[in-house]
């Protein structure tokens, strides 16, 4: 065993300390170069493909799963229900975290399964972070569909380099699957990409930007900062935000956490979805007005009023996809810069049709919007 001179040992310790200090603190003017998010598109579906139905979070009635299976058969697809879907744990979860993770892992590992639709959000997907590896998703890329608490899984997939779909789940598909949100999600799975035209909004910030779409339910993805499910940790992102049943002061808190963690510095643009049933406990007319005061200092475009989230219309979005948003005085567009057939969708027409048809959601009453996740 060699003995180093004392001066050499001291010098080595100083170098080691400096190296550790450099890794643990980097000044604002000396930020490390950040990577862009680069996700691959899973294969589009075709008639006869098998689609797994799983419950990574809260449990959902098996009646909804069965009706969703009927909808998928009507689309020419073959539903396959995860083995643990009908289980219940702690009065809410669709089985233990290991059982829920087992279904998710099975769905991605099974080569016969071509896409995955989550039955319900609620809460619980965060339990799966310790159970899943990013390789579980990247080894056999396929579409995963869901929203709300499923935002956690979107973050995992994006970090694994795979696109996914922020879209409707069994709670709504069970109503027949003939609404615009469900049909556009079906078309997206089969290779038809919408080019959304969104009506002008008084809180829009004008501009045009390109970036990779990340985000979802803000109270779900903010706690993921710094984890392997954090999809905001990349440069040149377009941030999508929606929420339900939260107070304005808590929404303000969540955005400040993003700001303090440098996420807003990495944004090239923002898409604000629905903020359903959010309590106005601050002196702002809307959540959009509250958030606008933060975004305007970054000189980035903000598209408000996109019908995505926990309301009666939840138009699908491809998370992890490169997108272009163009916000003008007369309206805005959101387009996906990936291959596939293009279809222009005017969101105002969709909303008008919903209102005219007066869809009867009392046929399958829900206790609250949260129960519709």
Distance CA 325, CA 41 (A): 20
Beta-strand ranges (E) seen in the chain are 50-54, 78-81, 113-118, 143-146, 164-166, 192-198, 207-217, 237-244, 267-276, 302-303, 317-319, 322-328, 331-336, 341-346
What pLDDT score was predicted for residue 33? 64
Walk along the chain (373 residues) and give the pLDDT tens digit of each residue: 444 444 434 344 433 333 333 333 233 444 456 899 999 999 999 999 999 999 999 999 999 999 999 999 999 999 999 999 999 999 999 999 999 999 999 999 999 999 999 999 999 999 999 999 999 999 999 999 999 999 999 999 999 999 999 999 998 999 999 999 999 999 999 999 999 999 999 999 999 999 999 999 999 999 999 999 999 999 999 999 999 999 999 999 999 999 999 999 999 999 999 999 999 999 999 999 999 999 999 999 999 999 999 999 999 999 999 999 999 999 999 999 999 999 999 999 999 988 877 544 434 444 444 555 7
Q: Among residues 228, 227, 282, which one has the least CA distance to residue 255?
A: 282
Measured between alpha carbons, how far is residue 186 from residues 90, 146, 167, 247, 297 in Å?
Answer: 33, 13, 10, 33, 38
| Confidence (pTM) | 0.89
């Amino acid at each position: 065993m060699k003995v180093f001179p004392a001066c050499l040992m001291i010098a080595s310790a100083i170098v080691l300390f400096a190296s550790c200090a450099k890794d643990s603190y980097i000044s604002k003017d000396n930020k490390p170069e950040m990577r862009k998010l680069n996700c691959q598109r899973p294969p589009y579906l075709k008639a006869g493909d098998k689609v797994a139905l799983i419950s990574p979070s809260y449990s959902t009635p098996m009646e909804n799963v069965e009706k969703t299976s009927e909808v998928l058969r009507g689309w020419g697809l073959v539903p396959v229900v995860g083995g643990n879907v009908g289980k219940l744990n702690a009065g809410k979860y669709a089985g233990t975290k290991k059982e829920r993770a087992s279904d998710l892992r099975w769905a991605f590992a099974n080569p016969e399964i071509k896409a995955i639709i989550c039955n319900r959000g609620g809460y619980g997907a965060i339990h799966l972070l310790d159970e899943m590896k990013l390789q579980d998703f990247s080894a056999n890329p396929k579409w995963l569909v869901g929203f709300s608490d499923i935002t956690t899984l979107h973050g995992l997939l994006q970090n694994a380099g795979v696109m996914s779909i922020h879209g409707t789940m069994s709670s709504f598909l069970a109503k027949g699957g003939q609404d615009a949100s469900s049909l556009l999600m079906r078309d997206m799975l089969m290779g038809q990409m919408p080019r959304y035209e969104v009506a002008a909004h008084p809180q829009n910030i004008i501009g045009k930007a390109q970036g990779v779409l990340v985000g979802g339910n803000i109270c779900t993805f903010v706690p993921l900062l710094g984890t392997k499910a954090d999809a905001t940790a990349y440069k040149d992102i377009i941030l999508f935000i929606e929420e339900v049943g939260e107070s304005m002061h808590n929404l303000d808190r969540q955005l400040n956490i993003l700001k303090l963690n440098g996420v807003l510095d990495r944004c090239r643009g923002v898409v604000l979805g629905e903020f359903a049933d959010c309590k106005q406990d601050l002196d702002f007319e809307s959540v959009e007005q509250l958030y606008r005061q933060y975004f305007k200092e970054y000189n980035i475009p903000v598209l408000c009023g996109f019908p995505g989230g926990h309301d009666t219309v939840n138009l699908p979005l491809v998370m992890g996809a490169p997108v272009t948003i163009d916000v003008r005085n007369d309206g805005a567009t959101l387009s996906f810069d990936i291959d596939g057939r293009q279809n222009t969708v005017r969101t105002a027409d969709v909303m008008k049709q919903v209102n005219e048809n007066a869809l009867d959601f009392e046929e399958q009453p829900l206790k609250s919007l949260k129960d519709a996740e």
